[in-house]
Amino acid sequence: MKQPWIHKAKTDSLFILSPPFIILAIVFFCQGWLQTLEKEYSFYTWLFFVVFIDVAHVYATLFKTYFVSKTFQEQKKMLIALPILCFGIGMILFMFGSRVFWVTLAYIAVFHFIRQQYGFMRLYSRHELKTRFSVVTDNIIIYTATGYPMLYWFMSSPRNFTWFMPDEFFTYHNNILLLFAGYVYYTILGLYAIKVTYLYIRTGKFNIPKNAIVVGTGLSWYFGIVYYNNDLIFTMLNIVSHGIPYMALIYLKEIKQPQVGSGGFYYYLNTYKGILIYIGILIGLAFFEEYLWEITVWNEQFTITKAGVFDDWHFILVPLLVVPQFTHYLLDGFIWKTKLKKAS
């Protein structure tokens, strides 16, 4: 069968499909090195994974929306109103306390991460003959691959990592229910493997990128949350598997194959130097945002002010600084929905 690559086999494999497998290989074979990295170089792991990948990928959305004049004109009202709405919702949530604010954002973030994997799976199945059975089984496997690890998080002993803050998720410890969920999880994985094998034997068709997304998602979520109980490993698997493919998707679809109305700058970015400029813009915006977080709110990695000087302004600063991230969560859902309708 003709494989449904988004761009090309080499670029898709390297930047979209391989990140979870590469990180897992590092985790499996470099345990001692990771322990040293976590203890002695925590600032650099934070800078690279959190700032240069996690925060940076948020700004890749700009190259699909605000930086494309045609898209901006067509969706002008929504693109202007959405950040304002996010700021308003943020302020309302923060009025109920910072904990309410961050807990709500954590659940939205988890949903966003899950939906991205669903979106990639749908993109890679866009050329398949769709039946009700195939759509249902594909949905079940991707939500199982992501849902069970989160359920394990909610129902097991405390994990040594957080999404945003300690005790951010509702927890209910029940070993019997968790054991049952585990049996269901492994049963669904087994049935999906049987289904894929049967269809390959019967038709000779095997969708490489779609199944790579399913396997990579399952492995990164299981080992990042269930198998290992380590903050750095969770951060690496969670962030790299999410951020790198997203930044690559935006570049490959919106810059490598620029649409009408993208502007001449996109054609310039479609060069080797342009790739560095694209990455540089994302990193620059991410660093600037995180720098503002540090000097006004966190005061953990570095600061230029006396700690606590901005505390009285957090009710404005926190909702304002989270606008890019919050807007990305909501806007990205719209982008995926539009793409998936065209792909179906």
pLDDT bin (cut points 50, 70, 90) of residue 263 is: low
What pLDDT, in 10s, does the model give residues 211-244? 999 999 999 999 999 999 999 999 999 999 999 9
Please, which pLDDT band fits residue 309 given cuts at 50, 70 and 90?
confident
pLDDT digits (tens, 9 = 90+) for 81-125: 999 999 999 999 999 999 999 999 999 999 999 999 999 999 999
- State what percent of residues in the chain have pLDDT above 90: 75
**3 versus 335: which is more confidently predicted?**
3
Q: How many alpha carbons lie under 13 Å from residue 308 in its C-beta half-sphere?
A: 0
Smallest Cα–Cα separation from 106: which of 153, 43, 155, 45?
153
Residue with the bigger pLDDT between 270 and 343: it is 270
Q: What is the DSSP string of 286-315?
A: HHHHHHHHIIIII-SS--SS-TTTTGGGHH
Q: What is the predicted pLDDT for the residue at 305? A: 64
Report the share of the chain in percent with pLDDT over 70: 94
Query: What's the pLDDT tens digit per position in 182-207?
Result: 999 999 999 999 999 999 999 999 99
Please give the span between the terminal C-alpha atoms of the chain, in angstroms, as a whole number. 18
Which conformational region is residue 46 in: left (phi greater than 0), alpha (psi within -120 to 50 degrees), or beta?
alpha
DSSP character at residue 127: T
For residue 343, pLDDT over 50 is answered with no
What is the rounded CA–CA span in Å between residue 241 and residue 293?
Answer: 24
Structure-derived torsion over alpha carbons of residues 21, 142, 179, 241, reported in degrees to the nearest 10: 30
Q: From 279, 343, 332, select the one nearest 65 (Cα to Cα).
A: 332
Model pLDDT for residues 279-304, shown as the tens digit of each residue: 999 999 999 999 999 999 988 887 77
pLDDT category of residue 261 using cuts at 50, 70 and 90: low
Mean pLDDT along residues 152-178: 92
Is residue 46 within 8 A of residue 39, CB to CB? The reply is no
Q: Specify the range with the lowest mean pLDDT, choosing from 61-75, 91-105, 256-270.
A: 256-270
List alpha helices for the chain, DSSP H. 9-11, 19-29, 31-40, 42-45, 56-59, 69-74, 76-95, 98-124, 132-155, 175-203, 208-221, 231-250, 264-269, 272-293, 314-321, 323-343
Angle in degrees, CA 247, 7, 269, rounded to 5: 55
pLDDT at residue 131, as a whole number: 87
Angle between helices 231-250 and 98-124 (to 10 degrees): 50
Residue 91, phi then psi, degrees to nearest 5? -65, -40
Residue pLDDT, tens place only, 4-34: 999 999 999 999 999 999 999 999 999 889 9
